[in-house]
Structure 1
Amino acid sequence: MKVEISILALAAALALAPGVAGADGVESFKDWTVVCDNLRNCQVAGFAADDTELPAVLRLSRAAAASAPAKVEIDLLGEISLGGKAPALAVDGRVVMTAKVVSSRDSADFTVVLDDAQVGPLLGAARNGTLLSIQDGGKELGRVSLAGMVAALRYADDQQKRAGTVTAMVAKGAVPAAGVPAPPPAPVLHAAPAVAQTGLPAKPPAAIKALFSKAECDLGPGRDDKPEAFRLSADKVLWQVPCWGAAYNFGSLFVIADKADRLSLALEGVGDGVLVNAEYDPKTRLLSAYNKGRGIGDCGDSSQWVWTGEAFALSEATVMPVCRGYGGDWPTTFHAEVR
């Protein structure tokens, strides 16, 4: 049976996907990871060391505009009980500041949110440190390793073309904010008109079997999903054919057939035409895929393509390339405006 995609190959697979302009903005540095998109928006994540019993995740996001501030949230994971006071943030045991806002995400996990004015001082104090701890009355609630933080922030500065300017987080210089170039505009894609889902064929063309074999499709025991057809236009039908199944990821072969039953892969160059946890919505003309790196869904990648009438064009892509307990939405690597 076809095995699930290894999380170690996610960044490489993303780089091979056609049209992912932001794939070179994905990088990891020890316990920190950076993901930047094609519009130069960046998200940086710092994680607990692997052996900690008090895991936390620091999520820093910054838009590409020169004046955009860095936003920081820290997720406290596991069974956390707060004593009613705002938690303190300490670097190597020395308290740097008290967090002003604490929001409960559910009964167990909490998110500490910093004010914009607190971000710079925290990063400055952490720059030469080894461990950031979140404390409540002296009791540790969570830990974030600072190994790789400076390299990650420097990489984000470089991706956003802030290096050498006063706006940089690490690679500061004397160049004023005006020296940061404006971010590029988002690509514009035009979705094809919606078409009625009528007159659909009952079964896929026989020639699909050859593509099925090429993609090494194997549903394995216990799965009997049926092929599904969607009309793209008067003369084109999109077929979704179950290909393989695993614990939490399921692969489907996506093929376009014309009136003469001539076939083409819906996405040339992407996994032999096989997408993971994918579906097509004829109302929006969007084909989406979602690949979990592991069952809890803290890592993986997702992509979305829009049918333009000629082809499926990439409109959105996200990735979290490391499985370290990341709890937010996966960072974006590519974004286009769909009209």
Structure 2
Amino acid sequence: MKIEIPALALAALALVPVAAPVAARADGVESFKDWTVVCDNLRACTVVGFGSEEGELPAVLRLTRAAAAGAPAKVEIDQADSEAGLGGKPPVLAVDGKVVLTARSKPLSEAGGFTVVLDDAQVGPLLGAARNGAVLTIRAGDKTVGQVSLAGMVAALRYADDQQKRVGTVTAIVAKGATPASGVPAPPPVPVLRAAPAAAQTGLPSKPPAPVQALLRKAECDVGPDWESQKPQAYRLSADQVLWQVPCSGGAYNFDSLFVVVDKAGKAVLAPLEGVDDGLATNADYDPKTRVLSSYSKGRGVGDCGNSTAWVWSGEVFALSEATVMPVCRGYGYDWPTAFHAEVR
């Protein structure tokens, strides 16, 4: 997902909290002033720094690091404003006006903008120089073409060190110590989920039965089965179970559906979505071929924040298989950082 955000919209961005996905651990998603951290269940972390709300030409710094002890920190800085071009000059990074290094760049998208790319050997010097700074500036010659606020950077990097269990080791970015890299525990194994066998999508009912209608009324939905924008949809989970997706509420860009499972005897229960207790999912869809139910919720219309979640039908529950989140609305126009990942077989 690539989102182009106009310069005027970027300049007006505010720090707006967004609900985390069901998969995001409370201790894996956190914000510190102008910086946000998302770490997943495998201890891989994405650390993001934004331009200050008062600053001009805000850019977005993305630091990613896997959990393995020897994994390097990767840094890229994105400038989506197509008017803030480099003019063929190499990007020069400075902290509080003092030049730190010259990097390389690549186009951000066909619409314009650019990405500053740091080599692995440049990451340490840049972060070291930025540690006590206030503003990281991107220059093209004498022209300033982007800025990243450094307010909250140290706290965010320390948090990532803690999430990756690097505190006190030589591998930490901020919370360094004398413990060798061997002191960093191996990342946890990837959870493995098994999808239930695919079911033939034949002989499906066209109208939700009364028990489904009753759960819809109990959910106090704003809309119902006769809503013009969306219609109820039935999917066969197995020979004895049917999944109903029924519209529940609608807005400008988010639409909630109620998911209900009906058994052969006609008993209806809210779909068992792991981490969800009300059977509701936003902008959702179920694919009977993959047995995956997916949900995507935007924090606002421009789509620079929100969360997405995917579940796989195991035959008993919809088990959590994937989740991403960007918890603040600050112009992050790219694939949201992963908060949970499992392997589906």
Question: In 2, are the aligned partners of 1:215 and 1:274 still within 8 Å (CA)?
Answer: no
CA displacement at 1:222 relative to structure 2: 7.4
Question: Helix, strand or coil for the counterpart of 1:24?
Answer: coil
- Work out the CA distance in 1 between the residues paired with 2:53 and 2:229: 40
Residue 44 of structure 2 is aligned to residue 52 of structure 1: no
Match of 1:289 in 2: 295
> How does 1:1-339 map onto structure 2 within 5 Å?
8=17, 10-11=19-20, 14=21, 17=22, 20=23, 22-78=25-81, 79-219=83-223, 223-267=228-272, 270=276, 272-339=278-345
Question: In 1, are the aligned partners of 2:24 and 2:323 still within 8 Å (CA)?
Answer: no
- Work out the CA distance in 1 between the residues paired with 2:256 and 2:233: 14
- Work out the CA distance in 2 between the residues paired with 1:53 and 1:292: 26
CA displacement at 1:38 relative to structure 2: 0.6
Where does structure 1 lack aligned partners over 5 or more consecutive residues?
Answer: 1-6
CA displacement at 1:82 relative to structure 2: 1.9
For normalisation by structure 1, the TM-score amounts to 0.93
- Quick one: percent identity of the two aligned structures? 71
CA displacement at 1:25 relative to structure 2: 0.5
Question: In 1, are the aligned partners of 2:247 and 2:257 still within 8 Å (CA)?
Answer: yes
Question: Counterpart amino acid of 1:301?
Answer: N
CA displacement at 1:266 relative to structure 2: 1.1
Question: In 2, are the aligned partners of 1:88 and 1:98 still within 8 Å (CA)?
Answer: yes
Question: In 2, are the aligned partners of 1:201 and 1:229 still within 8 Å (CA)?
Answer: yes
- Work out the CA distance in 2 between the residues paired with 1:29 and 1:128: 15
Question: In 1, are the aligned partners of 2:17 and 2:329 still within 8 Å (CA)?
Answer: no
Aligned positions, number: 327
CA displacement at 1:305 relative to structure 2: 0.1
Deviations 1:170-211 (A, max 9, x none): 000111111100000011100011111001112111122222
Question: Helix, strand or coil for the counterpart of 1:226?
Answer: coil
